[in-house]
Amino acid sequence: MRMIEFDRVSKAYHLGAGQTSLREALARQAQRLIGRRTAAHERQLFWALNEVSFQVEQGEILGIIGHNGAGKSTILKLLSRVTFPTSGRIVTRGRMAALIELGAGFHPDLSGRENIYLNGSIMGLKKREIDAQFANIVEFAGLEQFIDTPVKRYSSGMYVRLAFAVAAHVRADLILVDEVLSVGDAAFQQRCLTKMHELHRDGATIVFISHNLWSVSTFCSRALLLRAGQIQAEGHPTEVIQIYRQQDREAALSRLRDQVAEGEPFEPAHDQEGVTPVVKSELLNAEGRPEQAFGPDEALILRITYVAPQPIEAPAFVVQIQRADGVICCFIKSSANDIRHGVYGEGNVVLRIDPLQLVPDMYSIEVRLEDRRRALIYAADSGNIFHVKGYLQGAEAGGVFQPRVMWSHQSHQVDSAWHTPA
Amino acid sequence: MLTHLRELADAHELLYSWTLRDFKVRYSQSLLGAAWAILQPLSLMIVFSLIFTLFIRVPTDGVPYPVFAYTALLVWTFFANSLSMAMPSLVNNINLVSKIYFPREILPIAANLVSMIDFVIAALTLALLMMIYKIAVGWTIVFLPILLIIQVVFTLGVSLAISAINVFYRDVRFVIPLALQIWMYLSPVIYPASLVPERFQPLYFLNPMATLIESYRRVIFFNQPPDWLYLGITTVMTIAVTIVSYHYFKRAERLFADLI
């Protein structure tokens, strides 16, 4: 059974503040009357959604991800009939509950009990339904003692717990969830997820919006990636999240490049005669061929070529690897033992990183030629980008370092019965 | 229109809870609580009584001025308070209106209902005043419910339109208090309608509030039925205003979340 159908739905907003003054409106009408107003003067439109189509079947849990402003919340607002599409058609089936603005209908001066009834009826519950669920709601929120206290005396955690409890006890066929899990402590978030699983098991269809990719990947059965009001990818959450992360990284990287390009212009130190040394670097694989993608276990070889018109007596080569999200992963500086004699004329230096041991992601590499004795940079090269192949786990899950590991397991069980299935 | 009304009927429990909320909130943490419902018209009545019996003598066709004025003030206060409370009802609940769907007319209607509770409390005081002044009511009191219904429906119609317009033009906030003040002087609140020159009366009674207040006085104090012609015109105007307002409200409703 189809629960949601979005058919080429677009939604435009007027940019700038709405008409809030009668004077403006009158002026606009007057201009229109004397024909001074042309199409160019019409206020600019912002297309929050552009020809978006998708369907949700009964029993699905659809996750919607995307950056701020991609149109995620607009979809929920359209679904919950708070706002209407500029064009296109939306069909929904069954009773809907929106876990969107938790506690929006709460009034601080009213008690928890009064707010449960008020919020419940805003969500379309009948009084007898709330009566029937009341004990469950209070128990879920864990607020038995405070139920007759005005909610303004609640902590923000208690507030959200109560709001979620009410929303979660609406017997709905279709549940819309927006970022509610980002509030409350971890234990409560876990309970919310469990509760939503329960609702899903009881037959509810769920549309879930979150920035928390982890919860989307564990909770949802399907995901949509929105970008600038359009669906960019649709499918299994893991795949969609992968695409999202990839884009995220590429965007961050191009920002990083722009920063390098536009940022403070690098002022190389001139030697006495005013002739500037030059360094260039190149990434090679173990076989010595140019390469831009490496496995975490593979070797990365960096070949640095220099041209130094004047001798540099105490040269130091500095290599810095930065991940696309700006994390500096390593900082390698050659010592007097590595580069034994001065640098003069043309030559090259090779740095072998083997194995690379970085988590799959995108990185930029910067090379500098410095003077070891003085705080002086002679030359720099920061154009190189490389990729570490593998499953993109993201910063929060993957860390920076991917060592080569080996597991072993020894067991000294006294009683082997406890873990063997009977 | 019918589907809207059915939806509204389905949401009657929300209307009830919201009204209760508004009422509780209105008087929570106020020292005198619901006594304000009486104090507001009562204090105006005292001031007007002083001015219009001691300083300027206003004829009241034999009715003691305090009761005469209090009756009209009751009706007027209900109207003015309903409007003042309904006007910001949508804008004040931005969170709700922009996030959750429910029939939005609940908000201005609840505002009207709260002010109706005030009206009922204040009306009991009128009964008390009449006993003190030993004013007996005649058979024409049976017309009272008709007047009440027209008054409530008219107030609701105006409230719906004003609350919706306020979403689009915040100027309404400044216009309404001024308009209410002028409107009050154009209605027989502090003076009897009989002071209005005969030839202006047809024009004067095009104001539904003037007709209503005058009709209340006739059925309560003078044992006369309302002037059916004027009351008929008022009824037609009331129905028209309410239908147009509600229609406008439901059309504007689609834009609320985008504009608030």
DSSP letters along A2-14, please? EEEEEEEEEEEEE
User: Can you state the angle between helices B144-168 and B208-221, rounded to 10 degrees?
Assistant: 160
Residues A38 and A136 in one domain: yes
User: Into how many domains does chain A fold?
Assistant: 2
Rounded Cα–Cα distance for residues A302 and A351 (Å): 5
Report pLDDT for A266: 53
Q: Which residue type, as a one-letter code, is found at position A45?
A: L
Test A122 with B102 for CB contact under 8 angstroms. yes
d(CA A176, CA A180): 10
Question: How close does chain B come to A104, measured CA to CA in Å?
Answer: 6
For A82, name the nearest residue in chain B, comparing CA atoms only: B101
Q: Dihedral angle at the C-alpha atoms of A135, A137, A142, A145, nearest 10 degrees?
A: -50
- Which residues of chain B does A180 touch, with a Cβ-Cβ cutoff of 8 Å? none
Query: Are A382 and A325 in a shared domain?
Result: yes
What's the CA gap between A95 and A211, in Å, rounded?
Answer: 26
d(CA A386, CA A291): 8
> What is the structure's pLDDT at B260?
64
Element housing A418 (H / E): none
| Residue A339 and residue A193 share a domain | no
For chain B, which residues lie within 8 Å of any Cβ of chain A, measuring from their own Cβ? 11, 13-14, 16-18, 20-21, 24-25, 28-29, 95-102, 168-172, 254, 257-259
CA angle B22, B27, B30 (to 5 degrees): 150
Q: Comparing C-alpha atoms, which of B86, B253, B67 is closest to residue B168?
A: B253
- Asked if residue A174 belongs to a domain, the reply is yes
Report chain A's C-alpha Rg in angstroms. Answer: 30
The reply to whether residue A104 touches residue B29, judged by beta carbons under 8 angstroms, is no
Q: Is residue A405 in a domain?
A: no
- Test A121 with B101 for CB contact under 8 angstroms: no
Residues 6+ apart with CB under 8 A from A160: A102, A103, A180, A183, A184, A188
Residue A417 lies in a domain: no
Q: Give a yes or no: residue A407 inside a domain.
A: no
Are residues A72 and A207 both part of a single domain?
yes
Q: Beta strand A96-99 with A174-178: parallel, antiparallel or unpaired? A: parallel
Q: Is the ipTM of this complex over 0.85?
A: no
Q: Taking CB atoms and an 8 Å limit, are B24 and A104 in contact across chains?
A: no
Task: Note whether A83 contacts B169, CB cutoff 8 Å.
Answer: no
User: Is A265 domain-assigned?
Assistant: no
Residue A103 backbone class (left: φ over 0; alpha: ψ -120 to 50; beta: rest):
left
Between CA B70 and CA B140 the distance in angstroms is: 19
pLDDT at B243: 96
Q: Which one of B18, B96, B257 has the shortest CB-CB distance to A77?
A: B257
- CATH number of domain containing A195: 3.40.50.300
Provide the number of CB pairs (under 8 Å) joining chain A to chain B: 88
Task: Please answer whether residues A125 and A165 qualify as being in contact, where contact means their C-beta atoms are separated by less than 8 angstroms.
Answer: no
Residues A225 and A171 in one domain: yes
Judgement on whether residues A64 and A179 belong to the same structural domain of the protein = yes
Domain span holding position A211: 2-18+26-247
The helix or strand, by DSSP H or E, that contains position A276, with its residue range, turns out to be none
**Nearest 10 degrees: Cα torsion A102, A104, A110, A116:** -50
Cis check: omega of the bond before A355, within 30 degrees of 0: yes
CA angle B217, B221, B223 (to 5 degrees): 100
State the nearest Cα–Cα gap between B58 and chain A, in angstroms.
Answer: 40
- The pLDDT of B31-49, averaged and rounded, is 85
Assess contact for B60 and B70: CB atoms under 8 A: no
Give residue-wise pLDDT tens across range B147-192: 999 999 999 999 999 999 999 888 888 999 999 999 999 999 999 9
- Comparing CA positions, the residue from A246, A384, A239 lying closest to residue A325 is A246
Give the pLDDT confidence score for residue A34 in this predicted structure: 66
The reply to whether residue B100 touches residue A98, judged by beta carbons under 8 angstroms, is yes
Q: Inter-chain contact B96–A118, Cβ cutoff 8 Å?
A: no
- Kindly state whether residues A219 and A300 are assigned to the same domain: no
Tell me how close the Cα of A15 comes to any Cα of chain B, in angstroms.
11
- Taking an 8 Å cut-off on Cβ atoms, the answer to whether B96 and A98 are in contact is no
Whether A17 and chain B come into contact, CB under 8 Å, resolves to no
- Strand ranges (DSSP E) for A228-313? 230-235, 278-284, 293-294, 300-312
Would you kindly state where each structural domain of chain B is located, as residue ranges? 2-259
Nearest to A157 by CA among A170, A144, A141, A171: A141
Q: Could you tell me if residue A33 is inside a domain?
A: yes
Residue A256 maps to a domain: no
Helix runs in B133-192, H state only: 144-168, 172-185
The verdict on A161 and A70 lying in the same domain is: yes
d(Cα A356, Cα A313) in Å, to the nearest integer?
Answer: 31
Residues B62-84: tens digit of each pLDDT: 889 999 999 999 999 999 999 99
Residues A194 and A323 both lie in one domain:
no
CA distance B86 to A214: 45
Q: What percent of chain B has pLDDT over 90?
A: 60
Establish if A105 touches chain B: CB-CB under 8 angstroms: yes
Tell if the CB–CB gap between A22 and B169 is shorter than 8 Å: yes
Reference A250, options A398, A392, A130; nearest CA is: A392
Contact A151, A115 (CB under 8 A): yes
Q: Report how far residue A386's alpha carbon sits from residue A365's, in angstroms, rounded to the nearest whole number.
A: 8
Q: Using the 8-state DSSP alphabet, how is residue A150 labeled? A: B
* pLDDT tens for each residue of A249-292: 777 667 666 655 554 445 555 544 556 788 888 999 989 898 88
From the candidates A10, A22, A80, which should be mutated to test the interface with B, based on the most B CB atoms within 10 A?
A: A22
Residues A237, A342 within the same domain: no
In chain A, what residues touch B169 (CB-CB under 8 Å)?
19-22, 25
Q: Which residues of A75-86 are buried (b: 16+ CB within 10 A; e: fewer)?
A: bbbbbbbbbebb
- Nearest CA to A362 out of A249, A256, A243 is that of A249
Q: State how far residue B27 is from chain A, nearest Cα, in angstroms.
A: 10
Only one residue has tokens 């499953």, namely A391
**Who among A23, A114, A122 is closest to B14 (CB)?**
A122
Q: pLDDT tens digits for A138-171? A: 998 888 899 999 888 988 788 888 888 888 888 8
Does A157 lie in the same domain as A38? yes
Asked if residue A268 belongs to a domain, the reply is no
User: Mind listing the pLDDT tens digit for each residue in B101-152?
Assistant: 889 999 999 999 999 999 999 999 899 999 999 888 889 999 999 999 999 9
Measure the CA angle with vertex B183, ends B177 and B185; round to 5°.
115
The pTM of the whole model exceeds 0.80: no
Q: How far apart (Å, rounded) are the C-alpha atoms in residues A279 and B234?
A: 91
Chain A residues inside the 8 Å CB shell of B25: 107, 109-110
**Chain A residue numbers touching B102 (CB-CB < 8 A):** 122, 124
- How many angstroms separate the CA atoms of A225 and A235, rounded? 9
CATH number of the structural domain spanning residue A340 = 2.70.50.60
**Where a domain ends, among A208, A227, A247?**
A247
User: What pLDDT, on a 0 to 100 scale, did the predictor assign at position A422?
Assistant: 44
Residue A16 at interface with chain B, using a CB cutoff of 8 Å: no
Q: A184 and A125 share a domain?
A: yes
Cβ neighbours of A289 (radius 10 Å) = 9
CA distances from B198 to A309, B203, B227, B228 (A): 110, 10, 14, 17
Residues B95, A127: C-beta atoms closer than 8 Å:
no
